[in-house]
Amino acid sequence: MSGLKGYYFNNNTLLDPSAHVRTDPKIEFTWAGTDKPASGVNNAFSARWKGILIPPVSGDYTFYTSSDDGVRLFVNNQLLIENWTVHAAKKDKSDPIITLRKGRKYPIILEYYNQGGPGEIKLSWSYPGKEEEIIPTQALFPTKNYKVTVVTGDKQSAETNANVYLTLDGTLGVSAENYLQGSFPIGSTRYFDIEYTDLGNLESVHVRHDNQNDAPAWFLEKVIVKDEETGQEWVFSCGKWIANNETVDPEKKLGRTLYPEPSTQPQEQGLQTGRIIALKADNGMYLARTDAATKQTLIAKVAATNFKSDPTTHFEVVKLDGNKIALKANNGQFVAYQSDQTGTVAPNRSVAANLSTASEAAQFEVLILDGGKIAITGSKIALKSVINEQYLARTEKQGDVYHNYVVARMTPERYVTEPKAHFELTFIK
């Protein structure tokens, strides 16, 4: 469910514990007289909405609130609006204007209180090409809290005072890299809170430090992550040094990727960087890498029983940001769209871009069609280009000839019923 997670308090100061928690699709509320925002919440109350904001275009954004009474707005950890006073319905405008990039994830926090009686809180924005509007549901995503426990080994010189960073990797995406503030003494157990969108089943964590300060070498015992909402817990054992010192660590690693212990290993395979996958179209053929002669992406005529041994059907997931991916073929090229430069209505042609690294043109958004989570074997998915928002589709068959029209011209409302945009995701390794 999209929207922002709202925490409602029976006081005017956002003081825990919360009296009610829910996900609100958008922030557009008015309360008359003694109306209450939810069961169990007083008419005089405060609320904090938290989540992730994903802009639809790149450019300068202006935010607006209409409030009765106090309001504060933070976007990307910047305070943009503050009118924490008792007042009648009043419109406030962000200062400064903030520059945001299309598709990036930005933390957003809206705080509000109603002194009592009538109340109002609305959150809107404007950006290049769009006049002021209530921020729509599809741009807002609730966060959940991950409780992180970091245990340092109880051995000589195990502590570190370097800057430590942690990234969570799950079946539904990868978190931002989080700075874990403070030092890590010998034998210590330290606790952190990481807020991010739902990552699904955690498949790994990556821990690193920057090798700074006078005692950077670190013996990490383990990391424990708990989903506060569901209670699910993952234990990532390490028992190794993270150090640029071959005396204690011959590998001289400043970062380590840790995997959950078998008892907490997710049962479902997930999409992650480096995983090799194949995409099976609804006509039973596999989407393949570029043919050396034609330099164009094909649908390989390979039977299901042969696809694992045929590299032309394989892709490596080389970029993963939430549900954004890039697919790298075994010849080192990336699957990408090619814009129609002629101005005609002929279908765009998918190509393998001659790129050494994944560009925005090679990125796709993974959309699930069958209600399953991203990257479960057998899931039906659609791939939407990040650039032009068209869908990668299978080859059309006309007679006995397969044409390489593989970017489907269709609206988001149609893609679910359009089989050319569907692929079955199959894991190879």
DSSP secondary-structure letter at 36?
-
**Average model confidence (pLDDT) across the chain:** 81
pLDDT at 343 over 50: no
> CA-CA distance, 120 to 203, in Å (whole number)?
42
Higher local confidence (pLDDT), 12 or 374: 12
State what percent of residues in the chain have pLDDT above 90: 44
Q: Are 139 and 53 in contact (CB under 8 A)?
A: yes
Q: According to the model, what pLDDT value does residue 376 have?
A: 46
Least confident residue range of 23-32, 220-229, 256-265, 283-292: 283-292
> CA-CA distance, 323 to 220, in Å (whole number)?
30
Over residues 90-103, the mean pLDDT reads 92
pLDDT confidence band for 45 (50 / 70 / 90): very high
Q: Are 219 and 158 in contact (CB under 8 A)?
A: yes
For 362, half-sphere exposure in the C-beta direction (CA atoms, 13 angstrom radius) is: 23
Which residues neighbour 213 within 8 Å (Cβ) at sequence distance 6 or greater? Answer: 161, 162, 163
- Vertex 152, ends 149 and 154: CA angle to 5°? 135
Q: According to the model, what pLDDT value does residue 187 have?
A: 95
pLDDT at 112 over 70: yes
- Name which of 293, 295, 282, 377 is nearest 335 in CA terms: 295
Rank 60-74, 89-103, 258-272 by mean pLDDT and report only the highest: 60-74
Over residues 153-167, the mean pLDDT reads 94
> CA-CA distance, 183 to 162, in Å (whole number)?
7
| pLDDT single digits (tens) 374-385 | 444 455 677 877
Higher local confidence (pLDDT), 75 or 196: 75
The helix (run of H) or strand (run of E) holding residue 236 is strand 233-242
- Vertex 149, ends 147 and 155: CA angle to 5°? 175
For residue 90, give the 3-state DSSP assignment: strand
Q: According to the model, what pLDDT value does residue 148 have?
A: 97
Domains of the chain: 4-141 (3.90.182.10), 144-264 (2.60.60.20), 276-427 (2.80.10.50)
Residue 237, phi then psi, degrees to nearest 5: -80, 145
Distances (CA, A) of 127 to 53, 57, 59, 184, 388: 14, 8, 7, 43, 19
Look at phi and psi of residue 343 and say left if phi exceeds 0, alpha if psi is from -120 to 50, else beta. left
Distances (CA, A) of 95 to 68, 140, 203: 19, 21, 40
Is this prediction's pTM over 0.85?
Answer: no
Q: How many helices (H) and strands (E) does the chain have?
A: 0, 36
